[in-house]
Structure 1
Amino acid sequence: MAITLSQLNAASKGEALTMLDGLYEHSPWIAEQALAARPFRSLVQLKHAMARVVAGAGRDAQVALVRAHPELAGKAMLAGTLTAESANEQNRAGLTGCTPDELAKIQQLNATYSTRFGFPFVLAVRGPRGTGLNKRDILKTFERRLENHPDFELAECLRNIHRIAEIRLHDVFGDTPELGNLVWDWAERLAVHSDPGYAERGELTVTYLTDAHRACAQRLSHWMREECGFDEVAIDAVGNVVGIYHGSDPAARRLLTGSHYDTVRNGGKYDGRLGIFVPMACVRELHRQGRRLPYGFEVVGFAEEEGQRYKAVFLGSGALTGHFDTNWLEQKDADGVSMREAMEHAGLCITDIPKLRRDASKYLGFVEVHIEQGPVLNELDLPLGIVTSINGNVRYLAEIVGMASHAGTTPMDRRRDAATAAAELALYVEKRGGSVPHLVATVGMLEVPNGSINVVPGRCKFSIDIRATTNGVRDACIADVCAELARICERRGLHYKLEETIRAAAAPSAPAWQQRWERAVDALGAPVYRMPSGAGHDAMKLHEVMPQAMLFVRGENAGISHNPLESTTSDDMQLAVEAFQLLLENLATELT
């Protein structure tokens, strides 16, 4: 029989420990210490309290916790000595039904892993959806994590242990993340659409106005209309999917939200798309309850944000702010197809694009939910983060030009080596980027055109990406990097070219909207954690015309994004939906 949080809070220490027995394998000390924080307002607060106990326990206790877990399909399973919880989990993952070859493979991986790290491989085999990973996914994860640094791998084991405890805790309390599961399932169903050449390899790639892209738009519009109950659904003149749920007064101002549904090449399922599905789930619940808010709610699946097919980023959100650049129409993709031709082929009405510009006076603001795309929340064991500002960024393509010469006959003091000059600058960029909080600087591409093993490089092409939460900090770094580039080239007898390709202003969150997110997260019992966004988002464009604020959702696998390993759990998605629902309810109270 499931227990309640009220029962846990009111129970004696011994009774409470019995209720939480088995969450952490053979480690009752975690629950015992966490119970000192009672009363808990929510399960998320209880989860975080236990994670904090482990974080503060020290490395020896953490390693002992990992060692308390059995090997996957190991001797304990074969001997039938697993705890009931572990036996159930390994059985649900199909590990009790391994073929002899699969069992031999897992045992070999166990031995290799133990030799390398000194503790057993721990994986939450019930997975991010809670229904179980398959053996293929388990083996792939096992092999991938063998390459990790030992410190990182210990942390990864602990994160999986917390996920195991989270799933077991929901079993104890009879709690199911139904809306999180819905969002998860939508993400899986939308991910079946992928561009040719990638779909055949099982990779997710959806670029602007391809067949897969248009299929995604149709699927989103269908779900908005048929599954969620939006009053109006349309695909606009640039391919944005727009759903409107009217307020009690259809003429009332609206709250705008959304994110993009295109992807990078071989990307993940949640970047952008999570910010469409979460508010869709909110509308679905409002419609099921027959409720109207005192304001309208507009959800937009932006057609393009990534700039993968054409050199046009924020195309979808830019159309709403009136910043669609008509020069983009003549750009051609790798196959020579212009954007104009692609839009006409998709049946979009180019002459209607200017009509997409939103009148900001008719909107309350813009909010966006997004997967973090970084490791911070994952490392802190926090499900949600409040974005304080979206970094402003500048990107350059650069080239240093020297003199190509024979590597054997050119003395070291007579060389005009373009590559070592670029390397020297790259080290400076790294150092300068780490000199100020919330500043990052990256040399992401390095190329020696027509380079040869026995030739001193005469040319080197590279990129520079500089980002910061304020334009002033960013611009100061730019000035220093440009000055250093000039000094290096003068000292080495080289010259250079520098082309600015992108410049975007920082987008600080509107204080009132940031506070609304903070109140919603606090009401869930989750810690309120504020953080900048190092990545660009559609909210940056809407920031130009209306107040905006973002909510981040923790990513799995150290928060990796723009990668097939990008993932989050249905539990964290559930919290994102609940936070959004609270924001909507609180806003309704403010306006009445």
Structure 2
Amino acid sequence: MTTLASLNTIDAPAFVAALNGIYEHSPWIPERAAGKRPFASLAALKLALQDAVDVASMEERLALLRAHPELAGKAAIAGELTAESTGEQAASGLNLCSPDEYARLHQLNSEYNAKFGFPFILAVKGPTGRGLTRTAIIETFARRLKNTRADELAEALRQVHRIAEIRLNALLGIMPELGALVMEWCDTIGSWSDTEPGLTCAYLTPAHCRTAAQIASWMQEAGMEAHIDAVGNVVGRYAANTPNAKTLMTGSHYDTVRNGGKYDGRLGILLPVAIVRHLHARGERLPFHLEVVGFAEEEGVRFRSTFLGSSAICGRFNPALLDTVDEAGTTMRAAMVQAGHDPEAIAALARRPEDLLGFVEVHIEQGPVLLERGLPVGVVTAIAGSSRYLVELTGVASHAGTTPMGMRRDAAAAAAEVVLLVEGRCSGVASLVGTVGQLEVPGSSVNVIPGTCKLSLDIRAADDAVRLAAVDDILAGISAICARRGIEEKLWKIVEAEAAPCSPCLMDLFGAAVERQGVPRFDLLSGAGHDAMQMAQMTDVAMLFTRCGNGGISHNPLETMTADDAELAAQVLLDFFRHLAERPALP
């Protein structure tokens, strides 16, 4: 049987022969990677093969793409594919297409080749290796046909590497067991939603409560003591053999945005649970208590309140929030009581900082940085601070046909200026981003000048001084726009979160764990907010990002990752736990 050890020791021609078929009709790839042996890990081998493609000429990369067959194309129908391609297409049932599906794929293949000059390539075995459905394949085909050529070239090459990854796993008899388990768990709870289709899991809805109960059940099955606390956090504890040991906390949130993704937040809960399951099966305990927390609420969908779960753990829960109401008029207090929680017990959830070693969070990146660099994981340096506002602009609604352009008090036109103001002020400044994510003209009509416009502001940066300076300039700019246009402005601050730098010590432990997996350490900023921001108020924090597929799309049903990346993240986190255990204390 082929093993990594044998690949490291055989001569170069034998190495190339052993990897024949990993990359379609392209032996030059293993030929160029052979010189980088020995490989410390399977991940290192995959990266070496990927690097050979990255530094190849454009002609060589296009030849690699053109060596791949069309999906359900003429070669497939005629039985002329390689054994690997035949098996992969059959795994997704492409050999069983209906006449309509064959016709649709034929049309898409023709349009795609005409636009891009190479065949559509997709790892049809999908993120878990079990295979995509024909419907999913056709939908992906149609969506990617809208890409620019440069973006599609990059995505096609990424799909080539994913195909090679799956083939290497098969060649070496390797199954990403922890990663596959986490993906399966994400699929299970990802099917429970407040609304259909898609995934929406808002605080204390039936889908939310069902998800909490299932996570608690998985924790117990993994060998943990588990309960759901007064705010709805799911807490699992894997105790050390020493009762007075300190506690390392990890976890993330299990609520979602509206029509969100399956891995946002939930990966950071289920990955450590899978690791505990592995440790428990081995009879292995860590010299510190490990506490995994599924935070009940981070997204703020139902009550427009963020970080409810982590703020309670930090002793920073604001009791005034209990009187806020959702769109149906239900107070948060009533929702808690209905779900079986005791609002009066929330204050008692606060942890003592002196009992903690720190807090670490694994999270899907929710962006394209790791994806574009071809790296499965990265170490987070800091979480950007955030300032969020709701803005209401009020002018005068009047007749669109009879009001001269120079006499209008158009709230929507003022809002348009605000959008451009935010874009201009936040462009070209390191780590600074600004977004108007909501824009509404209430009671609008095609023949009425908008009298009211509502919009949101979201300003983020890793440096709080940079962020606050941008906020000051934007708010002053809004006032100037409104004064010039005769518009009344109202603003409500809804979030003010300071940037949270990660602990250099914990970052280095993560970085060393990444490198021991044969992957280069890469540090990056988190532009998105996370529960670790709250936890940083009471203890040292660190984060590990995993690669996000589909161009880095998140907060979207297209959010995706692979079982292999989840597996590698699990191995990094497990290594982190074990090496943290070797340290007598954190400085």
> Same-fold call, TM > 0.5?
yes
Residue-pair matches, total: 585
- The yes-or-no answer on 1:267 pairing with 2:260 is yes
How far does the alpha carbon of each residue in 1:255-307 deviate from its partner, in whole angstroms, 9 at most, with x for none?
00111111122211111110011111111111111111111111111111111
Closer/same/farther in 2, CA of residues 584 and 148 from structure 1, 3 Å limit: same
2:417 alignment partner, one of 390, 401, 424:
424
C-alpha displacement at 1:486, in angstroms?
Answer: 2.8
Could you say which residue in structure 2 is the equivalent of 1:211? 206
Closer/same/farther in 2, CA of residues 165 and 533 from structure 1, 3 Å limit: same
Could you say which residue in structure 2 is the equivalent of 1:255? 248
1:400 alignment partner, one of 387, 393, 397:
393
How far does the alpha carbon of each residue in 1:131-178 deviate from its partner, in whole angstroms, 9 at most, with x for none?
211212212212222222222222221111110011111112221111
What is the correspondence of 1:163-562 to structure 2 with a 5 Å cutoff?
A: 163-195=162-194, 197-198=195-196, 201=197, 203-226=198-221, 228-230=222-224, 232-562=225-555
**What is the DSSP-based 3-state SS (H/G/I as helix, E as strand, rest coil) of the residue aligned with 1:242?**
strand
Give the AA of the match of 1:206: C
What is the correspondence of 1:123-142 to structure 2 with a 5 Å cutoff?
A: 123-142=122-141
Structure-2 separation of matches of 1:91 and 1:183 = 25
Structure-1 separation of matches of 2:316 and 2:580 = 29
C-alpha displacement at 1:405, in angstroms?
Answer: 4.0
Structure-2 separation of matches of 1:84 and 1:487 = 67
**What is the DSSP-based 3-state SS (H/G/I as helix, E as strand, rest coil) of the residue aligned with 1:160?**
helix
C-alpha displacement at 1:560, in angstroms?
Answer: 1.1
C-alpha contact (below 8 Å) 1:421/1:489 kept by paired residues: yes
CA RMSD in angstroms comes to 1.7
What is the correspondence of 1:87-98 to structure 2 with a 5 Å cutoff?
A: 87-98=86-97
Structure-2 separation of matches of 1:491 and 1:480 = 16
After TM superposition, the structure 1 stretch with the greater mean CA deviation from structure 2, 397-406 or 438-447, is 397-406
Structure-2 separation of matches of 1:268 and 1:567 = 8
Structure-2 separation of matches of 1:83 and 1:301 = 45
Could you say which residue in structure 2 is the equivalent of 1:575? 568
Gaps of 5+ in 1: none
Structure-1 separation of matches of 2:180 and 2:525 = 28
Give the AA of the match of 1:132: G
C-alpha contact (below 8 Å) 1:294/1:591 kept by paired residues: no
Give the AA of the match of 1:439: L
Give the AA of the match of 1:7: S
**What is the DSSP-based 3-state SS (H/G/I as helix, E as strand, rest coil) of the residue aligned with 1:26?**
coil
Structure-2 separation of matches of 1:562 and 1:494 = 34
TM-score by structure 2 length? 0.96
After TM superposition, the structure 1 stretch with the greater mean CA deviation from structure 2, 268-277 or 56-65, is 56-65
C-alpha contact (below 8 Å) 1:260/1:276 kept by paired residues: yes
How far does the alpha carbon of each residue in 1:162-202 deviate from its partner, in whole angstroms, 9 at most, with x for none?
1001111111222111111111111122223222x32xx3x
Give the AA of the match of 2:260: G
Could you say which residue in structure 2 is the equivalent of 1:32? 31
Gaps of 5+ in 2: none
C-alpha contact (below 8 Å) 1:40/1:46 kept by paired residues: yes
C-alpha contact (below 8 Å) 1:469/1:532 kept by paired residues: yes
**What is the DSSP-based 3-state SS (H/G/I as helix, E as strand, rest coil) of the residue aligned with 2:127?**
coil
Structure-2 separation of matches of 1:279 and 1:364 = 16
Closer/same/farther in 2, CA of residues 93 and 493 from structure 1, 3 Å limit: same
Closer/same/farther in 2, CA of residues 149 and 579 from structure 1, 3 Å limit: same
Structure-1 separation of matches of 2:446 and 2:193 = 39
**What is the DSSP-based 3-state SS (H/G/I as helix, E as strand, rest coil) of the residue aligned with 2:456?**
strand
Give the AA of the match of 2:53: V
**What is the DSSP-based 3-state SS (H/G/I as helix, E as strand, rest coil) of the residue aligned with 2:299?**
coil
Structure-1 separation of matches of 2:559 and 2:580 = 32
Closer/same/farther in 2, CA of residues 310 and 154 from structure 1, 3 Å limit: same
Structure-2 separation of matches of 1:243 and 1:553 = 23
Closer/same/farther in 2, CA of residues 70 and 290 from structure 1, 3 Å limit: same
Could you say which residue in structure 1 is the equivalent of 2:152? 153
Give the AA of the match of 1:157: A
Structure-2 separation of matches of 1:338 and 1:497 = 25
Structure-2 separation of matches of 1:209 and 1:486 = 39
Structure-2 separation of matches of 1:110 and 1:101 = 14
Percent identity, please.
53
TM-score by structure 1 length? 0.95
C-alpha displacement at 1:493, in angstroms?
Answer: 4.1
